[in-house]
């Protein structure tokens, strides 16, 4: 349930509600909005009648949440939440573009990529240091050296950074170097990792699993949020179907649907969704038209020489051209990049 406090509620009144919830076995999560303080409460629904919260001074109303994802539900906030990463803000009027190579390969590669994507208008730099690959013989990433390199390039260019974590070991290293933690599709339901990521307090980019339903995706976000971390950005990256012409099937309908169900920002990864650089521009434009709050696009200085996912990576010139198109699309739907 959600306890909506009166606009003039005091801190003492908020604490009284929290104490009443704790006494009856409910875990509470304080959400401070622009005009309201909202308290999300998770516990035994059958005990709600014992609480008498509506009688407490400072409480405007109590709203039961029927969805299994309590904190991620739109009812928990009433409007979209904003997730800041550096100077970029997900969920606001601006469409945030994250760009960079699939994997960190060298300082020269990363510095060139970062400079080019920043010039074209990207707000955040991506780069994989830990690479969960289908084949054990594929490039697995530079690991800690890659994180250090990514951090140096981010500092030189002024771009905040995001990189994927695979387990608690990689998480312990990544929190020291990156501004945003990515939980990849293979780990969307790695619940111990989700809890650990939530406890870091850092912004989280949570990708949808290969075969995950929307409810399962939102429940994964709930695992992060229940640890006290509300800075979650959801990323649609295609789901597995019987179609073989594309790497995955991009579910664009998930964007408006999730934004109706949840207050969390939603972005799209057209690179992994299609696996084909020729399909990235139209799908990126379609994502913005469908209401996406951002994009995750793979850009490599020399895609044919990329150590992974070169086929879906744009070169800097292609990315710059795409950004021009995306700015026009964003303007057409009342947003900007």
pLDDT digits (tens, 9 = 90+) for 254-311: 999 999 999 999 999 999 999 999 999 999 999 999 999 999 999 999 999 999 889 9
Residues 7, 8, 14: CA angle, nearest 5 degrees = 90
Q: For residue 105, is it within any domain?
A: yes
CA distance 223 to 94: 27
Q: For residue 207, is it within any domain?
A: yes
CA distance 183 to 306: 22
Residue with token string 């060139």: 112
CA 272 to chain centre: 15
More confidently predicted of 336 and 64: 336
CATH number at residue 249: 3.20.20.70
Task: Please give the pLDDT value at position 95.
Answer: 98
Number of domains, the chain: 2
Task: Please give the pLDDT value at position 204.
Answer: 98
Backbone angles phi, psi at 271, to 5 degrees: -70, -55
Give the mean model confidence (pLDDT) for residues 87-106: 96
Cβ neighbours of residue 267 under 8 Å, at least 6 residues apart? 90, 96, 98, 205, 233, 234, 235, 236, 292, 293, 294, 295, 296
Cα 110 to Cα 127, 140, 177, 225, 265, distances in angstroms: 8, 17, 15, 32, 27
Same domain membership, residue 212 and residue 239: yes
Q: For residue 308, is it within any domain?
A: yes
More confidently predicted of 151 and 7: 151
Same domain membership, residue 20 and residue 161: no
Give the mean model confidence (pLDDT) for residues 221-248: 95
CATH number at residue 50: 3.30.70.1140
Task: Please give the pLDDT value at position 296.
Answer: 98
CA distance 327 to 122: 11
CA distance 249 to 269: 11
Alpha helices by DSSP H, the chain = 11-23, 48-51, 107-120, 144-157, 168-174, 191-200, 214-225, 254-261, 270-274, 280-289, 316-332
Task: Please give the pLDDT value at position 33.
Answer: 64
Same domain membership, residue 177 and residue 136: yes
Domain span at 29: 2-64
Q: For residue 70, is it within any domain?
A: no
Residue 74 near residue 65 (C-beta atoms within 8 A): no
Task: Please give the pLDDT value at position 79.
Answer: 82
Q: For residue 77, is it within any domain?
A: no
Same domain membership, residue 271 and residue 160: yes
Give the mean model confidence (pLDDT) for residues 316-329: 98
Cα 1 to Cα 120, 217, 226, 277, distances in angstroms: 44, 20, 14, 44
Confidence (pTM): 0.88
Q: For residue 167, is it within any domain?
A: yes
Task: Please give the pLDDT value at position 160.
Answer: 98
Q: For residue 173, is it within any domain?
A: yes
DSSP category for residue 313? P
Q: How confident is the model at residue 319 (pLDDT cuts 50, 70, 90)?
A: very high
Q: What is the pLDDT of residues 176-222, one digit of tens each?
A: 999 999 999 999 999 999 999 999 999 999 999 999 999 999 999 99
Task: Please give the pLDDT value at position 43.
Answer: 79
Residue 37 near residue 5 (C-beta atoms within 8 A): yes
Q: What is the pLDDT of residues 28-87, one digit of tens each?
A: 888 776 567 888 888 777 777 788 898 899 998 888 888 889 889 998 886 899 999 999
Same domain membership, residue 140 and residue 28: no
Give the mean model confidence (pLDDT) for residues 305-327: 96
Task: Please give the pLDDT value at position 65.
Answer: 82
CA distance 213 to 193: 19
Among residues 64, 95, 112, which one ends one of the domains? 64
Q: What is the pLDDT of residues 13-31, one digit of tens each?
A: 999 999 999 988 888 888 7
Task: Please give the pLDDT value at position 34.
Answer: 59
CA atoms within 13 A on the CB side of 303: 19
Residues 141, 107, 83: CA angle, nearest 5 degrees = 70
């Amino acid at each position: 349930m959600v306890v909506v406090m009166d606009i003039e509620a005091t801190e003492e009144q908020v604490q009284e509600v929290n104490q009443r919830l704790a006494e009856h076995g409910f875990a509470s999560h304080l959400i401070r909005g622009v005009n309201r303080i909202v308290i999300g409460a998770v516990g035994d629904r059958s005990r709600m009648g014992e609480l008498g919260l509506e009688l407490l001074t400072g409480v405007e109303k109590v709203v039961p949440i029927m969805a299994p994802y309590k904190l991620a539900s739109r009812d928990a906030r009433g409007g979209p939440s904003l997730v800041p990463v550096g100077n970029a803000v997900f969920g606001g009027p601006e469409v945030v573009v994250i760009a960079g190579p699939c994997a960190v390969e060298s300082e020269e590669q990363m510095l060139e990529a970062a400079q080019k994507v920043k010039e074209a208008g990207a707000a955040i730099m991506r780069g994989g240091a830990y690479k969960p690959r289908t084949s054990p013989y594929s490039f697995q990433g530079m690991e800690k050296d890659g994180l250090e390199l990514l951090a140096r390039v981010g500092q030189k260019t002024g771009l905040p950074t995001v990189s994927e974590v695979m387990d608690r070991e990689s998480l312990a290293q990544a929190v020291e170097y990156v501004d945003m933690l990515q939980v990849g599709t293979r780990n969307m339901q790695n619940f111990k990792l989700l809890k650990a990521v939530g406890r870091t307090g850092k912004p989280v980019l949570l990708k949808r699993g290969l075969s995950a339903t929307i409810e399962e995706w939102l429940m994964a976000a709930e695992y992060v949020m229940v640890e006290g971390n509300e800075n979650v950005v959801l990323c649609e990256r295609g789901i597995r179907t019987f179609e073989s012409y594309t790497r995955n099937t991009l579910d664009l309908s998930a964007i408006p649907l999730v934004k109706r169900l949840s207050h969390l920002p939603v972005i799209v990864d057209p690179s992994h969704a299609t696996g084909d650089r020729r399909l990235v521009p139209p799908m990126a434009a379609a994502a913005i038209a469908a209401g996406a709050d951002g994009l995750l696009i793979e850009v490599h200085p020399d895609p044919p020489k990329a150590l992974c996912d070169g086929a879906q990576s744009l070169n800097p010139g292609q990315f710059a051209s795409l950004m021009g198109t995306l700015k026009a699309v964003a303007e057409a739907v009342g947003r900007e990049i």
